[in-house]
Amino acid sequence: MASPIAMAAASFLISCLVVVVVLASGASAQLSSTFYDTSCPNALSTIRTAAVAQEPRMGASLLRLHFHDCFVQGCDASVLLNDTNGGEQNALPNAGSLRGFGVVDSIKAQLEALCPQTVSCADILTVAARDSVVALGGPSWTVPLGRRDSTNSSATMANSDLPPPQFNLSQLIPAFQNKNLDTTDLVALSGAHTIGQARCTTFRDHITEPNINATFAASLRANCPATGGDKPTTTWRRWTPRRPTPSTTPTSATWCPRGGLLHSDQELFNNGSTDSIVRNFASNAAAFTSAFATAMIKMGNLQPLTGAQGQIRTNCWRVNSS
Ligand code: HEM
Ligand SMILES: *[C@@H]1O[C@H](CO)[C@@H](O)[C@H](O)[C@H]1NC(C)=O
Ligand SMILES: *[C@@H]1O[C@H](CO)[C@@H](O)[C@H](O)[C@H]1NC(C)=O
Ligand SMILES: *[C@@H]1O[C@H](CO)[C@@H](O)[C@H](O)[C@H]1NC(C)=O
Ligand SMILES: *[C@@H]1O[C@H](CO)[C@@H](O)[C@H](O)[C@H]1NC(C)=O
Ligand SMILES: *[C@@H]1O[C@H](CO)[C@@H](O)[C@H](O)[C@H]1NC(C)=O
């Protein structure tokens, strides 16, 4: 006999499934993982080879580039346009901080030689992000394809839609909700901060806060003192899958108590509503990797340009001349 609790759980599951289906079809009706199968069959292998043949940090930089693309006007390669006149690259979270443009340029050049005007820069970023995560030992997933490239880019929009590291939990949650990403997605995607580097300026204030592990804070202050003398970058502390010996599994070290490098990271595990998600991911690597892949697909499906919208740029850094 089914107990009331079991039935409630079953109907909860069913309503969840319905929501997922509606969101997925609405967000990416025209994207398809087989999009280039006939028009450019070697597109994906070309991207993978060129994206992961770099220094280990490049994988992190390419992943961040995709995030900063998708959160601003959707995944449309707007972040790659290097117009100095109010483009996204001039925005606070981007200027002097984003990396990987040269790698994308080189992938694009190879693809233009292989199949001209076919593979979008937005799809290059999406596939390169996935391949980077895989190369650094993280999970894999199937990437829906067929995004097209924007013809504009807005620093104002980047400044308003990309969350800064000073954000607290009650600011991070709506910043992600605005992009159809829930708290599970927020916590899972923040797991990206176990790879790559951050500049002192992004965490200098944070490492004087009382909710930080004192030993950890002291080690960070060695390279990032209160004033002056700071080295430009510091390696993320957590989950550091690095070649040649990738250790991929996010363990409890991923979100150590009081061990978040950025204020925004620590907010996810600071006696708030996301603590339980962090605990689950910290103790269950499979739950984390599965949530990370799911959230990456959701993020990658944000507001794509499809059909006749936008264009396929021939150079990722500029709009096609007509
Ligand atoms: C939750 C809100 C987030 C905030 C406030 C945030 C903030 C930051 C900051 C301040 C840095 C250091 C930048 C620098 O010093 O130049 C950084 C780096 C990075 N972020 Fe985030 N981020 C967030 C979410 C994400 C997401 C969703 C992803 C990808 C899924 C991501 C991937 C990365 C990566 C991989 C790096 C290292 C990049 C490199 O080494 O070149 N971040 N982030
Ligand atoms: C834009 O990027 C291209 C290729 O990476 C570079 O040649 C060009 O100088 C850049 N222009 C500006 C204004 O940064
Ligand atoms: C950018 O282009 C899109 C169409 O591709 C348009 O909807 C949007 O308003 C444009 N944004 C700006 C700031 O011009
Ligand atoms: C988060 O920051 C905002 C803006 O500074 C502030 O209004 C709010 O009270 C903060 N929330 C918490 C829970 O600290
Ligand atoms: C604090 O950080 C140090 C060094 O990073 C680590 O060895 C120690 O286990 C941490 N303590 C706690 C309570 O997490
Ligand atoms: C969380 O709350 C507990 C109990 O009130 C307290 O001991 C602990 O220091 C708090 N942790 C943080 C990070 O604020």
CA of 32 to the centre of ligand 3 (A): 24
| Whether residue 227 is found in the same domain as residue 280 | yes
Are the C-beta atoms of residues 74 and 213 closer than 8 Å to each other?
no
- On whether both 125 and 202 belong to a single domain, the answer is no
Quick one: 208 and 259 in the same domain?
yes
Question: Looking at the structure, do residues 69 and 140 belong to the same domain, yes or no?
Answer: yes
Give the pLDDT of residue 231.
56
Residue 19 known to bind ligand:
no
**Does residue 234 have a pLDDT over 70?**
no
In-domain check, residue 225: yes
Q: What gap in Å lies between CA 97 and CA 75, rounded to an integer?
A: 19
- Is residue 268, in this structure, part of any structural domain at all? yes
CB-based contact 236:197 (threshold 8 Å):
yes
Span 68-72, average pLDDT? 98
CA distance 195 to 240: 5
More confident residue, 188 or 223: 188
Q: Is the pLDDT of residue 243 over 70?
A: no
In a domain, 89, yes or no: yes
Domain count, the chain: 2
* Boundary residue ending a domain (144, 162, 180): 162
Q: If we measure between CA atoms, which residue out of 73, 260, 50 comes closest to residue 150?
A: 73
Residue with CA at minimum distance from ligand 6 atom 9: 211
CA–CA separation, 38 and 57 (whole Å): 33
Q: What is the mean pLDDT of the chain?
A: 82
- Nearest C-alpha neighbor of 295 from the set 203, 211, 139, 181: 181
Higher pLDDT, 308 or 249: 308
Is 112 annotated as a binding-site member?
Answer: no
Which range is least confidently modeled, 97-111, 156-170, 184-198, 301-315? 184-198
Does 305 reside within a domain? no
Q: Report yes or no on 226 lying in a domain.
A: yes
State how far the Cα of 151 lies from the Cα of 215, in Å rounded to an integer: 48
Do 198 and 251 have their domain in common? yes
On whether both 78 and 192 belong to a single domain, the answer is no
pLDDT of residue 84: 85
Is residue 248 located within the same domain as residue 195? yes
Compute the distance between CA of residue 130 and CA of residue 298 in angstroms, rounded to an integer.
13
194 known ligand binder: yes
Q: How far is CA 13 from the centre of its chain?
A: 27
Question: Of 131, 146, 162, at which residue does a domain stop?
Answer: 162
**Could you tell me if residue 319 is inside a domain?**
no
**pLDDT at residue number 256:** 56
CB 203, CB 220: distance < 8 Å: yes
Of residues 275 and 304, the one with the higher pLDDT is 304
Any ligand 1 atom below 6 A from CB of 63: yes
pLDDT over threshold 70, residue 228: no
More confident position, 283 or 77 = 77
Is the CB of residue 192 below 6 angstroms from any atom belonging to ligand 1? Answer: yes
Q: What is the pLDDT of residues 266-299, one digit of tens each?
A: 899 888 999 899 888 877 888 888 999 999 999 9
Q: Give yes or no: residues 180 and 149 share one domain.
A: no
pLDDT digits (tens, 9 = 90+) for 147-203: 999 999 999 999 999 999 999 999 999 999 999 999 999 999 998 887 788 888 888
Ligand 5: distance of its center to the CA of 155 in Å?
Answer: 39
Distance (angstroms) between ligand 4 centre and the Cα of 169 equals 8
What CATH number does the domain containing 36 carry?
A: 1.10.520.10
- What pLDDT score does 56 carry? 74
Atom of ligand 3 at shortest distance to CA of 305? 5
State the pLDDT at residue 226: 82
Active site residues: 68
User: Measured in whole angstroms, how far is the alpha carbon of residue 205 from the centre of its chain?
Assistant: 24
Residue 56 near residue 136 (C-beta atoms within 8 A)? yes
CB neighbourhood size of 118 (10 A): 15
Q: What is the mean pLDDT of residues 237-248?
A: 30
Residues 174 and 250 in one domain: yes
Dihedral (Cα; 268, 272, 273, 278), 10-degree rounding: 40
More confident residue, 26 or 93: 93
Name the band, by pLDDT with cuts 50, 70 and 90, for residue 215: confident
With bands split at pLDDT 50, 70 and 90, how would you rate the model's confidence at 255?
A: low
Mutate to test the pocket of ligand 2, among 65, 80, 81, 82 (most ligand atoms within 8 A of CB): 82
Q: Which two tokens stand for residue 150?
A: 């924007």
Proximal ligand: closest to the CA of 84? 2
Residue nearest to atom 12 of ligand 3 (CA): 152
Asked if 123 and 230 sit in the same domain, the reply is no
pLDDT of residue 5: 34
Within a domain: residue 59?
A: yes
Give the count of beta carbons closer than 10 Å to the beta carbon of residue 198. Answer: 19
Predicted TM-score of the model (pTM): 0.88
Paired with 145 in beta bridges are 32
pLDDT digits (tens, 9 = 90+) for 51-69: 877 777 888 899 999 999 9
What digits encode the pLDDT tens for the residues 8-34?
A: 233 222 222 333 333 444 445 589 999
Is the pLDDT confidence value at 130 over 50? yes
Closest CA to ligand 2's atom 14: 82
CATH value at residue 199 = 1.10.420.10
Residue 181 within a domain? yes
The pLDDT > 70 percentage for the chain reads 81
Q: Is 193 annotated as belonging to a binding site? A: yes
Residue 140: pLDDT above 70? yes
Q: Is residue 233's pLDDT more than 60?
A: no
Full residue range of the structural domain in which residue 51 is found = 20-162
Clarify whether residues 229 and 134 are in a common domain. Answer: no
Q: How far is the CA of 16 from the centre of ligand 3 (A)?
A: 33
User: Are residues 134 and 190 both part of a single domain?
Assistant: no
- Smallest-distance ligand from the CA of 104: 2
